[in-house]
Structure 1
Amino acid sequence: MNAYILLAISIVSEVFGSSMLKATNGFKKIIPSLGVIVGYGIAFYGLSLSLKMLHLGVAYAIWAGLGTALTALVGVTIYKENFNGKKLFGLVLIIGGVIFLNIDGVH
Protein backbone atom coordinates (compact mmCIF):
# COMPACT_ATOMS: atom_id res chain seq x y z
CA MET A 1 0.00 0.00 0.00
CA ASN A 2 1.18 3.54 -0.70
CA ALA A 3 2.94 5.18 2.26
CA TYR A 4 0.88 8.35 1.96
CA ILE A 5 -2.39 6.40 1.96
CA LEU A 6 -1.27 4.63 5.14
CA LEU A 7 -0.32 7.99 6.62
CA ALA A 8 -3.70 9.49 5.68
CA ILE A 9 -5.52 6.56 7.34
CA SER A 10 -3.31 7.06 10.37
CA ILE A 11 -4.11 10.79 10.52
CA VAL A 12 -7.86 10.27 10.22
CA SER A 13 -7.72 7.61 12.94
CA GLU A 14 -5.71 9.90 15.22
CA VAL A 15 -8.19 12.73 14.68
CA PHE A 16 -11.05 10.35 15.46
CA GLY A 17 -9.34 9.12 18.64
CA SER A 18 -8.49 12.65 19.78
CA SER A 19 -12.01 13.84 19.07
CA MET A 20 -13.46 11.00 21.10
CA LEU A 21 -11.37 12.05 24.12
CA LYS A 22 -13.71 14.95 24.81
CA ALA A 23 -16.75 12.66 24.61
CA THR A 24 -15.32 10.16 27.15
CA ASN A 25 -16.06 12.48 30.10
CA GLY A 26 -12.79 11.48 31.72
CA PHE A 27 -13.08 7.89 30.45
CA LYS A 28 -16.38 7.45 32.28
CA LYS A 29 -18.28 6.67 29.05
CA ILE A 30 -17.36 3.30 27.58
CA ILE A 31 -18.22 3.73 23.88
CA PRO A 32 -16.22 6.94 23.35
CA SER A 33 -13.40 5.43 25.45
CA LEU A 34 -13.29 2.43 23.11
CA GLY A 35 -13.25 4.90 20.20
CA VAL A 36 -10.11 6.51 21.67
CA ILE A 37 -8.38 3.15 22.02
CA VAL A 38 -9.31 1.93 18.54
CA GLY A 39 -8.55 5.29 16.92
CA TYR A 40 -5.11 5.59 18.47
CA GLY A 41 -4.34 1.92 17.86
CA ILE A 42 -5.02 2.25 14.14
CA ALA A 43 -3.21 5.60 14.06
CA PHE A 44 0.02 4.30 15.54
CA TYR A 45 -0.08 1.09 13.52
CA GLY A 46 -0.62 3.00 10.28
CA LEU A 47 2.12 5.47 11.18
CA SER A 48 4.53 2.63 11.91
CA LEU A 49 3.80 1.04 8.52
CA SER A 50 4.23 4.33 6.67
CA LEU A 51 7.63 4.79 8.34
CA LYS A 52 8.90 1.76 6.42
CA MET A 53 8.78 3.99 3.32
CA LEU A 54 8.92 7.60 4.57
CA HIS A 55 11.49 9.63 6.48
CA LEU A 56 10.63 9.90 10.17
CA GLY A 57 10.76 13.70 10.31
CA VAL A 58 8.57 14.19 7.26
CA ALA A 59 6.03 11.51 8.23
CA TYR A 60 5.74 12.71 11.80
CA ALA A 61 5.45 16.36 10.75
CA ILE A 62 2.61 15.48 8.41
CA TRP A 63 0.93 13.23 10.99
CA ALA A 64 1.22 15.63 13.90
CA GLY A 65 0.61 18.83 11.94
CA LEU A 66 -2.39 17.74 9.94
CA GLY A 67 -3.74 15.79 12.90
CA THR A 68 -3.56 18.93 15.04
CA ALA A 69 -5.15 21.12 12.37
CA LEU A 70 -7.95 18.64 11.65
CA THR A 71 -8.61 18.08 15.36
CA ALA A 72 -8.92 21.83 15.84
CA LEU A 73 -11.44 21.94 12.99
CA VAL A 74 -13.40 19.08 14.57
CA GLY A 75 -13.46 21.10 17.80
CA VAL A 76 -14.93 24.05 15.93
CA THR A 77 -17.46 22.10 13.88
CA ILE A 78 -18.60 19.37 16.25
CA TYR A 79 -17.90 20.76 19.72
CA LYS A 80 -18.74 24.37 18.75
CA GLU A 81 -15.42 25.76 20.01
CA ASN A 82 -14.54 29.34 19.10
CA PHE A 83 -12.83 30.06 15.81
CA ASN A 84 -11.02 33.35 15.44
CA GLY A 85 -8.14 34.97 13.60
CA LYS A 86 -5.53 33.62 16.01
CA LYS A 87 -6.71 30.05 15.56
CA LEU A 88 -6.81 30.50 11.78
CA PHE A 89 -3.29 31.95 11.80
CA GLY A 90 -2.03 29.04 13.90
CA LEU A 91 -3.60 26.50 11.55
CA VAL A 92 -2.06 28.25 8.55
CA LEU A 93 1.36 28.13 10.23
CA ILE A 94 0.97 24.42 11.03
CA ILE A 95 -0.06 23.54 7.49
CA GLY A 96 2.67 25.78 6.06
CA GLY A 97 5.26 24.05 8.23
CA VAL A 98 4.10 20.65 7.03
CA ILE A 99 4.36 21.82 3.42
CA PHE A 100 7.88 23.19 3.91
CA LEU A 101 9.06 20.02 5.65
CA ASN A 102 7.59 17.98 2.83
CA ILE A 103 9.36 20.08 0.21
CA ASP A 104 12.64 19.54 2.07
CA GLY A 105 11.94 15.80 2.32
CA VAL A 106 11.51 15.36 -1.44
CA HIS A 107 14.74 14.51 -3.23
Structure 2
Amino acid sequence: MIYLLLFLAILAEVVATTALKASDSFTKLGPSIILVMGYAVSFYLLSIVMRTLPTGVTYAIWSGLGVVLISIFGYLFTNEKLDAAACVGISLIVAGVVIINVFSKTVSH
Protein backbone atom coordinates (compact mmCIF):
# COMPACT_ATOMS: atom_id res chain seq x y z
CA MET A 1 0.00 0.00 0.00
CA ILE A 2 2.81 2.42 0.84
CA TYR A 3 4.36 1.97 -2.60
CA LEU A 4 1.00 2.70 -4.23
CA LEU A 5 0.84 5.98 -2.31
CA LEU A 6 4.41 6.75 -3.35
CA PHE A 7 3.57 6.04 -7.00
CA LEU A 8 0.50 8.31 -6.77
CA ALA A 9 2.69 11.05 -5.24
CA ILE A 10 5.13 10.67 -8.13
CA LEU A 11 2.32 10.75 -10.68
CA ALA A 12 0.81 13.90 -9.11
CA GLU A 13 4.25 15.56 -9.20
CA VAL A 14 4.72 14.65 -12.87
CA VAL A 15 1.30 16.06 -13.77
CA ALA A 16 2.09 19.23 -11.80
CA THR A 17 5.48 19.63 -13.47
CA THR A 18 3.91 19.14 -16.90
CA ALA A 19 1.32 21.80 -15.99
CA LEU A 20 4.12 24.10 -14.81
CA LYS A 21 5.45 24.33 -18.34
CA ALA A 22 1.93 24.74 -19.75
CA SER A 23 1.14 27.52 -17.24
CA ASP A 24 3.52 29.85 -19.09
CA SER A 25 4.93 31.36 -15.89
CA PHE A 26 1.52 31.31 -14.17
CA THR A 27 -0.11 33.38 -16.92
CA LYS A 28 -2.61 30.63 -17.84
CA LEU A 29 -5.15 29.92 -15.13
CA GLY A 30 -6.09 26.30 -15.91
CA PRO A 31 -2.57 24.86 -15.93
CA SER A 32 -1.65 27.03 -12.92
CA ILE A 33 -4.50 25.53 -10.87
CA ILE A 34 -3.51 22.01 -11.95
CA LEU A 35 0.11 22.56 -10.95
CA VAL A 36 -0.72 23.93 -7.49
CA MET A 37 -3.18 21.12 -6.82
CA GLY A 38 -0.78 18.51 -8.22
CA TYR A 39 2.09 19.60 -6.01
CA ALA A 40 -0.20 19.81 -2.96
CA VAL A 41 -1.45 16.25 -3.52
CA SER A 42 2.07 15.03 -4.23
CA PHE A 43 3.57 16.49 -1.06
CA TYR A 44 0.65 15.32 1.06
CA LEU A 45 1.00 11.75 -0.19
CA LEU A 46 4.77 11.97 0.17
CA SER A 47 4.35 12.98 3.82
CA ILE A 48 2.25 9.87 4.44
CA VAL A 49 4.84 7.64 2.77
CA MET A 50 7.60 9.14 4.91
CA ARG A 51 5.88 7.86 8.05
CA THR A 52 6.94 4.37 6.94
CA LEU A 53 9.92 4.59 4.58
CA PRO A 54 13.21 6.31 5.40
CA THR A 55 13.47 9.86 4.07
CA GLY A 56 16.49 9.22 1.84
CA VAL A 57 14.99 6.14 0.24
CA THR A 58 11.61 7.84 -0.24
CA TYR A 59 13.19 10.87 -1.86
CA ALA A 60 15.49 8.77 -4.05
CA ILE A 61 12.53 6.83 -5.44
CA TRP A 62 10.29 9.92 -5.73
CA SER A 63 12.84 12.09 -7.46
CA GLY A 64 14.36 9.32 -9.59
CA LEU A 65 11.11 8.00 -10.98
CA GLY A 66 9.83 11.56 -11.27
CA VAL A 67 12.76 12.42 -13.56
CA VAL A 68 12.13 9.33 -15.66
CA LEU A 69 8.38 9.94 -15.98
CA ILE A 70 8.67 13.67 -16.67
CA SER A 71 11.20 12.89 -19.39
CA ILE A 72 8.77 10.42 -20.95
CA PHE A 73 5.86 12.89 -20.61
CA GLY A 74 7.99 15.62 -22.20
CA TYR A 75 8.88 13.34 -25.07
CA LEU A 76 5.30 12.17 -25.63
CA PHE A 77 3.30 15.34 -24.98
CA THR A 78 5.54 18.39 -25.51
CA ASN A 79 7.77 17.13 -28.32
CA GLU A 80 10.95 17.30 -26.23
CA LYS A 81 13.79 15.18 -27.58
CA LEU A 82 15.82 12.60 -25.65
CA ASP A 83 19.28 11.85 -27.03
CA ALA A 84 21.39 8.77 -26.32
CA ALA A 85 23.12 10.36 -23.32
CA ALA A 86 19.76 11.27 -21.76
CA CYS A 87 18.50 7.72 -22.25
CA VAL A 88 21.65 6.27 -20.64
CA GLY A 89 21.32 8.67 -17.71
CA ILE A 90 17.67 7.80 -17.24
CA SER A 91 18.56 4.10 -17.34
CA LEU A 92 21.13 4.66 -14.59
CA ILE A 93 18.50 6.40 -12.47
CA VAL A 94 16.16 3.44 -12.89
CA ALA A 95 19.02 1.06 -12.02
CA GLY A 96 19.71 3.06 -8.87
CA VAL A 97 16.09 2.89 -7.74
CA VAL A 98 16.01 -0.87 -8.40
CA ILE A 99 19.26 -1.40 -6.47
CA ILE A 100 17.91 0.54 -3.49
CA ASN A 101 14.67 -1.43 -3.44
CA VAL A 102 16.17 -4.86 -4.04
CA PHE A 103 19.44 -4.75 -2.11
CA SER A 104 19.26 -2.01 0.51
CA LYS A 105 18.65 -3.06 4.10
CA THR A 106 17.09 0.34 4.85
CA VAL A 107 13.96 -0.64 2.91
CA SER A 108 11.71 -3.13 4.65
CA HIS A 109 10.84 -5.95 2.26
TM-score (norm 1): 0.94
Match of 1:40 in 2: 39
Match of 1:27 in 2: 26
* Number of residue pairs the alignment of both structures matches: 106
Match of 2:2 in 1: 3
Gaps of 5+ in 2: none
Runs of 4+ in 1 over 6 A off after TM superposition: none
In 1, Cα distance between the equivalents of 2:100 and 2:55? Answer: 11
Measured after TM superposition, the shift of residue 106 of structure 1 is: 3.4
Matched letter for residue 29 of structure 1: K
In 1, Cα distance between the equivalents of 2:15 and 2:26? Answer: 15
Matches within 5 A, 1:1-107: 2-102=1-101, 103-104=103-104, 105-106=106-107
Does the 8 Å CA contact 2:53/2:107 hold for their aligned counterparts?
A: no
RMSD of Structure 2 on Structure 1 (CA):
1.0
In 1, Cα distance between the equivalents of 2:18 and 2:98? Answer: 24
In 1, Cα distance between the equivalents of 2:53 and 2:107? Answer: 10
Measured after TM superposition, the shift of residue 101 of structure 1 is: 2.0
Measured after TM superposition, the shift of residue 52 of structure 1 is: 0.9
In 1, Cα distance between the equivalents of 2:68 and 2:58? Answer: 15
Identity %: 37
TM-score (norm 2): 0.92
Gaps of 5+ in 1: none
In 2, Cα distance between the equivalents of 1:101 and 1:58? Answer: 7
